[in-house]
Structure 1
Amino acid sequence: MGQQKVHLTGEKATLLATLYGRALDARSRHPILGDKLAAETIDRIDYDFSKTGIGPAIAPAVALRAHSVDDWAAEYLAEHPEAVVLHLGCGLDTRYHRMAVPPSVRWYDVDYPEVIDLRARLFPRPPGYTMIGSSVTDLAWLDQIPDDAPALVVAEGLFYYLDPAEGARLLRTIVDRFPCGQFVFDALSTLGLRLQRFNGPVRRAGATMHWAIDGPADLLAIHPKLRCVSALSAFDAAGFGTLSLPYRIMFWLAELLPSLKRTAVIYRLEF
């Protein structure tokens, strides 16, 4: 199979930036995530990845976020090996393939049809793994998902692109559908959204963000069954303070300015 061509715009195009970040990390001397499949995949895509705005200085931050999400997802699956996983806005993330997913888990990657079509041409589909082509806010896709087990919902780099009302409706529908479960996702505060004007990869993709989450209270108001288990500032992720100089400067500033520290947070919610 030859190289795959891609024609993605807006928030869909940001998946190329995060894929490239994980690939650069995997090829670095001291990888954080070690996503070897990402490194192999960029060689199978006909695209000039220099256009993404991701370089060796930014790649570790991409890998660090993914590593934090992976760790929390792995903890839940270790305790609930019968879980159903909803990996929302999966893009070209290789999460299923790089994690040691228990064979009893039923895993669903969900993204726009054109993204899923590209995934189908790039990645293997082992037993227990299913891809669904749909906008995550078109809730009809949930009819394809069994609701007889705990649900792990993973959404990295997704929620801030959603309309706030549609995002809240998505969370409420999932909580009402499953007996119990956990959400693991990253979010940006109102200040975090404003600061995205300085985010090169987001600007280059022409992506627009809409949903700001300023703390756990914003999320718990969505459904009475939701409770916040963890809220980890991106600046507190293990290893952030050892990244390149611009990130170390942000780390030091975040220690002095609580509002800056809350701009990017990874949440873990239970229901």
Structure 2
Amino acid sequence: MNPKPDTKVQLTEEKETLLATLYGRAVDSRAKKPILGDTTAADTVRRLDYDFGKLRMGPGDAAGVALRARQLDVWTARFLAAHDEATVVHLGCGLDTRVHRLAPGPGVRWYDVDYPEVMELRATLYPEYAERAGYATIASSVTDPAWPARLPADRPAMIVAEGLLMYLTEEDGTTLLRRLMAHVPGGELAFDAFSRFAIRTQWLNRVVVNAGATLHWGTDAAGVVALSPELEIVENISALEIPGIEKLPTAYRTAARLTALLPGVRDMARMYRCRF
């Protein structure tokens, strides 16, 4: 018999959307052949007093969440394999357990950044993370100009943003990324982004609508490159063509293959790995 949820959740607007990605990872972990296999996500969902049923997260939706998370895991792990004394900055970390999944070595400094109320919830759910060597949390809006000063300025950095940048304004998002790139000697930037078309049609995005959130920033490869003359896109992948998409249930896989033939739809959500 499962225990009753013991942690009340009180998040609003864009903060509430982190529960959808958490639930997607949980649903994936219960699949016969999970993509990410984040069992901690399933344990966390059981502990939260929240109506996850209203998210209407199907197996295909969950697989999409897991594929995105896994791709960012792959890119981050690859960077850490080449830089054993790096900094990882996980922007808008929500309730993600990437630091646990990747288990970085002792030379890595890892910073999870999110709003104070989100970090308070993380501390309740994952108290053991506070004991992890090299791990720190920063309770702040990512757009606050003060917090980046807490990051090491003499190490290569992997900056990761998952399901975040589209909720920022273009001015706030570009200022944030430029500020971080200027603070460190170099590194990589990995994130997912929506197109301008996706922003205009956000009323179709069930997660955003249910949370009462608003999407702001839509961009493309040209907009990404414009962030800095020193920025180079190394990988640029449509969310409909992400490695592992063949593992989706047949109906979702077929729909992804067909919609990927439409350029406007194919480019609505893309993932970027950049070097600077």
TM range, smaller chain = over 0.9
Give the alignment partner of residue 190 of structure 1, picking from 180, 183, 196. 196
Alignment counterpart, residue 251 of structure 1, candidates 240, 254, 257:
257
CA distance in 2, matches of 1:105, 1:223: 26
- CA shift digits 1:129-151 (9 cap, x unpaired): 11111000102011211111001
Alignment pair present for 1:227 and 2:232: yes
TM-score (norm 1): 0.95
State the alpha-carbon separation in 2 of the partners of residues 177 and 65 from structure 1.
27
Contact 1:52 1:205 in 2 (8 A): no
- Which amino acid in structure 1 is aligned with residue 167 of structure 2? Y
Judge which range, 177-186 or 42-51, deviates more: 42-51
Partner of 1:201 in structure 2? Answer: 207
Please list the CA deviations of residues 62-85 of structure 1 after superposition, one character each: whole Å capped at 9, or x if unmatched: 111111111111111110111111
Question: Matched residues in 1 for 2:60 and 2:183: separation?
Answer: 42
- The number of aligned residues is 269
Once residues 104 and 172 of structure 2 are traced to their aligned partners in structure 1, the CA distance between those partners, rounded to angstroms, is 30
Report the secondary structure of 2:119's partner residue: helix
Give the C-alpha shift of residue 115 in structure 1.
Answer: 0.2
| RMSD of aligned residue pairs (Cα, Å) | 1.5
Give structure 1 stretches of 5+ with no counterpart.
none
For structure 2, list consecutive stretches of 5 or more residues without a partner in the other structure: none
The partner residue of 1:5 within 5, 8, 26 is 8
- Is the counterpart of residue 24 in structure 1 residue 27 in structure 2? yes
1:150-197 CA distances to partner (integer Å, 9 max, x unpaired)? Answer: 010000000000010011111111111110111000001011223332
Matches within 5 A, 1:1-271: 3-123=6-126, 124-125=128-129, 126-214=132-220, 216-244=221-249, 245-254=251-260, 256-271=261-276
Aligned counterparts of 2:171 and 2:195: Cα–Cα separation in 1:
16
Instruction: Give the CA deviation at 1:248.
Output: 2.4
Q: Which string of whole-angstrom CA distances, capped at 9 and with x for unpartnered residues, describes residues 63-121 of structure 1?
A: 11111111111111110111111000000011111113122110000000000000001
Deviation larger for 199-208 or 178-187: 199-208
Pair 197,251 (structure 1): closer, same or farther in 2 beyond 3 Å = farther
Q: Distance in 2 between matches of 1:102 and 1:258?
A: 41
Amino acid at match of 1:196: Q
Aligned-pair CA distance for 1:57 = 3.4
The amino acid that maps onto 1:22 is R
Aligned-partner Cα distance in 1 for 2:73–2:202: 24
Contact 1:240 / 1:248 at 8 angstroms: preserved in 2? no
2: distance between equivalents of 1:227 and 1:7? 39
TM-score, with structure 2 as normaliser: 0.93
Inter-partner Cα distance in structure 2 for 1:204 and 1:261? 24
Secondary structure, in 3 states, of the residue corresponding to 1:43? helix
Give the letter aligned to residue 37 of structure 1.
Answer: T
The DSSP-based 3-state class of the residue aligned with 1:165 is helix
Does the Cα contact within 8 Å between 1:233 and 1:266 map onto a contact in 2? yes
Change (3 A) 1:258 1:57: closer
Per-residue CA deviation, residues 183-234 of structure 1 (Å, 9 max, x unaligned), is 00000101122333212122111111000012x2111212111111111111
